[in-house]
Amino acid sequence: MLKRVLAIITILIIGYWLAEGLANVPFGQDKMLVGQYYLNHVKEQTGAVNAVTAVVVNYRGFDTLGEVTVLFIASTGVAALLWRRKRERTAKTPGSVVLTTGSKLLFPFIVLFGMYIFIHGHLTPGGGFPGGATIATAFLLMYLAFIVYEIPHKGFETTEGLAGMSYVLVGLIGLAIGGYFLFDWIWQTWHWGTSNLGRLFSGGFIPVIYTIIGIKVGTELSGIIDNMLKEEVKE
């Protein structure tokens, strides 16, 4: 009997909280209210001219950190499943002359283009995720062209870890200065880039965050490619 009474009381309390919350929801207002706020204040509050980037990195930056964490967990999971086994590349046939020659020529330009995508993410469409994925495709091209090619594993693993730590560090600095995680201390405190709106050196910490994300995504995806292209070798 006592359990039923406690259950009913708990349900009533939760129901009251839900009703109280729904009562404060502004029904009937313009659905673009939040979006319009971003469009009206994005330059003033973030220093970016790309509203989408400002939302992804600044207004909902903690969610973006979660997305990076998901990719890190996926990369770690692939490595954890395969690291105990002796695995090597088993491809026997190298790429054609066109592929091997073209990959050597295109590799630095693909990497450069990927860097451009995330460095200019606060100005043009792009960002850390597509930029990092573009860089990873450059390494995939090298894997397809050469049967003995491998990424420098230790260097990539170290870079990946440092990039993740840097993202969290930027957020913690914001917490210490502004009172909440991922506070844009570069823009709000230093006003760095105030006179350069629409130029490369603007946008507060957005270019910094996107560069960190681009490096982390590029190294993680390259590591996944390396693991997926190898097969177990029986001794």
pLDDT in tens, 117-149: 999 888 888 888 899 999 999 999 998 888 888
Banded pLDDT at 35 (limits 50, 70, 90): confident
For residue 97, the enclosing domain spans: 93-234
Tell me whether residue 209 is in a domain.
yes
Whole-prediction pTM:
0.76
Tell me whether residue 45 is in a domain.
no
Tell me whether residue 167 is in a domain.
yes
pLDDT digits (tens, 9 = 90+) for 145-172: 888 888 888 888 889 889 988 988 998 8
CB 223 within 8 A of CB 75: yes
Tell me whether residue 43 is in a domain.
no
- Separation of alpha carbons 226 and 155, rounded Å: 14
Report the number of distinct structural domains present in the chain: 1
Tell me whether residue 46 is in a domain.
no
CA atoms within 13 A on the CB side of 110: 18
